């Protein structure tokens, strides 16, 4: 290649034919079909830092254009591909320039590819051999600073394969050296990245130290203290937003790099802080590793897997100054894991009135019961319907939500009652500590605002009076800082007025009273369902429901937080007396009371005194007793008592008897009588009892009317079905005389 360069140096660039003739004599690898196509110069540096600092290497790569001219190509046939500057050659992913190079070779547009070294083209054997295969198929030559290669020739192909293997091995050697150096530094706890919130790097950049700003330290300590008090990340985030508390951030780039800024709180940053052991003074390394199977093309940061803290390669405790103790950090991790488990297993507290949603499990199939709101009144019900919803199976079991919520409320009151005094004292202490932390944060805000106002005043006073352009701007800045300082002072006064540091005797007595009267606090209108759900989740871990068949007998197994369990019995609400396990005893008791001479009203009063509960409501009534006896065939209702002194004429019916004959409700038959669709008469003195007339033809007509589908007013029933026959047309003389009377 050097000989070709020497021979062609004296030939003008405007005479490519002469150059090609000289090159063909010197190197037989160059053929006319190579010069008919273009030459591509591939330029690449591995990192942005090399692009900025290793400019000599970049210049040498761009100078390969002259090499292509020396080999017989004109400058308009030469294309430079430098799209991959600052991108590593370990993979084809993200290298648009290399992908374009492969496409041009595959389209038979390229006769020669030039690179300073073969490692510039690829450091992966997979990508390198893919390029070699394409170049061999389309008879494309490759050239570097050492020579000219033809992939169709065995010796050149062997040499190119060795160069590709050495390039990949060189990359692994370099990475291995750098990785070992990082490991040695990590073993000493000195491999540091950007400091987390509340920390800064020390002067020699070998450790973290507290942020010199006192307000930044106060905010970080407040975040960890409030997480212990709030219990969840969402509650902590809402607390910070309500009190206007911002994160102390020192940007790692940009014009304000390293200077303190105040940003609004967000969930991701809170989770990062709570999971970071640096705040407990520990150094860790190796808590993330790359899983190649999880990588997604086009996403360089994908495939990262987090490992447990105990599995980290390096874990050094007491390495940095700590905001919290290691024990508190461990408790926070356990609380976060428990919150995640509850979110998956129990579900987060919802907006509905359900108290136990997400906590109840079916004792038969093990599925979690669903929360349902039925009817216009949104009646709450817990129903095991997973099998019906997913596989079309029958409904498993369910319970009225009012019964179970009331039962669990009573159990929770029993637990909280013995600790009411401790709760009140803890609430008083916790409230005073919270207000003290907020007051300290407010005073630091005021101090910062005062410093900014003084600084603006000094800047304005230091400017020359003649420079009015600068003076007016500084004056506006001074006025702005003064207004902000005054606004902050008013907000602080309002905070001190509404939330004093110490509670007076009246407030302390109110807290004690509320703690002692937990039911009143529980049922207070200002207590939201979400707050009640959170209280239940702090005490109850799981509720298992076992219903005996289809009866009202229910066994409830409660698993409390901490591992303790308790078993209870509950009589649930059912829809019919046939579902009650004690229905036979109830009927027997009612019959005994009736046989003793008690009326229906007196029987209901006696059952209420005995503590017997009906299906619905809290007390029995005479109507309930009558209906229950009718369903059992033991008693006729008032409307079906037939006076013995009244004899029915031919083809006359008592209304209940005709309703039974037609197999339809008595109320519908009464409605037909009122609309004159059936003939009948009322008995005077017997509270409106009806005697209806219907012969065989009328019975058939009524059955047809019963079977006719309901029509609307614009399409009424057929008139022949709603027009009754007169009883006097086909009635005996006795019947006519009865109706005439």
Q: In the 3-class helix/strand/coil scheme, how is 35-65 assigned residue by residue?
A: HCCEEEEECCCCCHHHHHHCHHHHHHHHCHH
Beta strand pairing status for 540-547 and 360-362?
parallel
Cα angle for residues 613, 619, 623 (degrees, 5° grid): 110
Has 46 been annotated as catalytic? yes
Going by the DSSP 8-state scheme, the letter that residue 368 receives in this structure is: B
Alpha-carbon gap, residue 191 to 444, rounded angstroms: 34
Strand partners, 606: none
Alpha-carbon gap, residue 325 to 277, rounded angstroms: 10
Alpha-carbon gap, residue 248 to 223, rounded angstroms: 12
Alpha-carbon gap, residue 234 to 185, rounded angstroms: 37
Query: What would the two tokens of residue 587 be?
Result: 């009927």
Which residues, 6 or more positions from 84, have their beta carbon under 8 angstroms from its beta carbon? Answer: 43, 44, 95, 96, 97, 98
CA distances for 529 relative to 94, 352, 374, 538, angstroms: 52, 7, 18, 14
Which residues, 6 or more positions from 529, have their beta carbon under 8 angstroms from its beta carbon? Answer: 349, 351, 352, 353, 354, 355
Going by the DSSP 8-state scheme, the letter that residue 168 receives in this structure is: H
CB atoms within 10 A of CB 588: 11
Alpha-carbon gap, residue 46 to 95, rounded angstroms: 11
List the catalytic residue out of 27, 46, 167, 354.
46
Alpha-carbon gap, residue 7 to 22, rounded angstroms: 7
Task: Name the nearest CA neighbour of 727 among 657, 672, 642, 650.
Answer: 650
Query: What would the two tokens of residue 358 be?
Result: 């997400």
Question: What is the largest distance, in Å, between two alpha-carbon atoms of the chain?
Answer: 146
CB of 721 closer than 8 Å to CB of 704 = yes
Residues in the chain: 741
Beta strand pairing status for 141-143 and 110-114?
parallel
Instruction: Point out the residues that are catalytic.
Output: 46
């Amino acid at each position: 290649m050097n000989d070709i360069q020497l021979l062609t140096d004296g030939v003008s660039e405007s005479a490519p034919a002469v150059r090609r003739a000289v090159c063909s004599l010197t190197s037989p690898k160059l053929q006319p079909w190579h010069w008919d196509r273009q030459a591509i110069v591939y330029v690449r540096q591995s990192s942005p830092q090399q692009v900025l600092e290793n400019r000599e290497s970049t210049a040498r790569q761009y100078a390969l254009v002259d090499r292509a001219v020396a080999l017989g190509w004109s400058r308009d046939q030469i294309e430079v591909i430098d799209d991959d500057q600052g991108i590593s050659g370990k993979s084809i992913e993200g290298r648009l320039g290399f992908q374009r190079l492969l496409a041009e070779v595959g389209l038979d547009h390229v006769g020669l590819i030039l690179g300073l070294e073969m490692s510039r083209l690829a450091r992966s054997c997979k990508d390198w051999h893919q390029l070699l295969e394409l170049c061999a198929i389309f008879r494309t030559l490759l050239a570097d600073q050492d020579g000219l290669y033809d992939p169709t020739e065995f010796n050149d192909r062997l040499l190119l394969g060795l160069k590709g293997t050495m390039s990949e091995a060189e990359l692994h050697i370099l990475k291995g050296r750098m990785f070992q150096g990082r490991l040695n530094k990590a073993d000493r706890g000195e491999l540091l990245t950007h400091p987390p919130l509340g920390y800064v790097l020390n002067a020699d950049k070998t450790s973290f130290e507290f942020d010199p700003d006192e307000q930044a330290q106060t905010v970080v300590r407040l975040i960890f203290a409030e997480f212990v008090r709030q219990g969840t990340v969402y509650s902590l985030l809402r607390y910070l937003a309500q009190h206007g508390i911002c994160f102390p951030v020192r940007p790692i780039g940009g014009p304000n790099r390293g200077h303190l800024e105040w940003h609004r709180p967000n969930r991701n940053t809170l989770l990062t802080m709570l999971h970071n052991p640096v705040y407990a003074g520990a150094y860790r390394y190796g808590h993330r590793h790359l899983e190649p199977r999880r990588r997604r093309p086009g996403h360089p940061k994908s495939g990262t897997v987090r490992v447990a803290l105990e599995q980290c390669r390096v874990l050094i405790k007491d390495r940095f100054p700590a905001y919290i103790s290691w024990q508190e950090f461990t408790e926070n991790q356990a609380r976060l894991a428990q919150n995640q488990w509850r979110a998956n297993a129990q579900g987060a507290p919802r907006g509905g009135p359900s108290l136990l949603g997400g906590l109840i499990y079916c004792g038969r199939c093990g599925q979690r019961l669903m929360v349902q709101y039925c009817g216009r009144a949104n009646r709450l019900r817990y129903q095991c319907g997973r099998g019906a919803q997913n596989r079309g199976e029958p409904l498993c079991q369910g319970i009225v939500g009012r019964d179970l919520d009331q039962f669990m409320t009573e159990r929770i009151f029993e637990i909280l009652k013995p600790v009411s005094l401790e709760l009140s004292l803890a609430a008083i202490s916790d409230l005073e500590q919270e207000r003290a932390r907020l007051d300290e944060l407010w005073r630091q805000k005021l101090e910062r605002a005062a410093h900014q106002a003084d600084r603006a005043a000094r800047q304005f006073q230091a400017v020359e009076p003649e420079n009015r352009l600068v003076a007016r701007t500084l004056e506006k800045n001074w006025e702005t800082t003064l207004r902000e300082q005054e606004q902050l002072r008013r907000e602080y006064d309002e905070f001190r007025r509404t939330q004093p540091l110490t509670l007076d005797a009246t407030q302390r007595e109110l807290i004690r009273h509320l703690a002692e009267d937990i039911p009143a606090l529980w049922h207070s209108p200002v207590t939201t369902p979400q707050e009640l759900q959170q209280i239940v989740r702090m005490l109850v871990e799981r509720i298992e429901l076992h219903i005996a068949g289809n009866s009202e007998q229910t066994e409830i197994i409660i698993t409390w937080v901490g591992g303790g369990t308790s078993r209870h019995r509950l009589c649930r609400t059912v829809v019919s007396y046939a579902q009650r396990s004690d229905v036979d005893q109830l009927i027997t008791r009612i019959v005994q009371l009736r046989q003793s001479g008690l009326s229906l009203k007196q029987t209901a009063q006696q059952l209420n005194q005995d503590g017997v509960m009906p299906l619905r409501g809290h007390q029995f009534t005479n109507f309930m007793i009558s209906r229950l006896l009718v369903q059992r065939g033991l008693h006729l209702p008032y409307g079906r008592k037939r006076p013995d002194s009244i004899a029915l004429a031919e083809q006359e019916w008592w209304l209940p008897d005709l309703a039974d004959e037609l197999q339809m409700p008595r109320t519908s038959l009464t409605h037909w009588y009122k609309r004159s669709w059936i003939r009948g008469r009322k008995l005077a003195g017997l509270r409106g009892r009806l005697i209806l007339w219907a012969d065989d033809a009328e019975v058939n007509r009524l059955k047809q009317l019963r079977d006719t589908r309901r029509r609307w007013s614009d399409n009424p029933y057929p008139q022949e079905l709603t027009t009754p026959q007169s009883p006097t047309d086909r009635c005996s003389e006795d019947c006519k005389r009865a109706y005439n009377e």
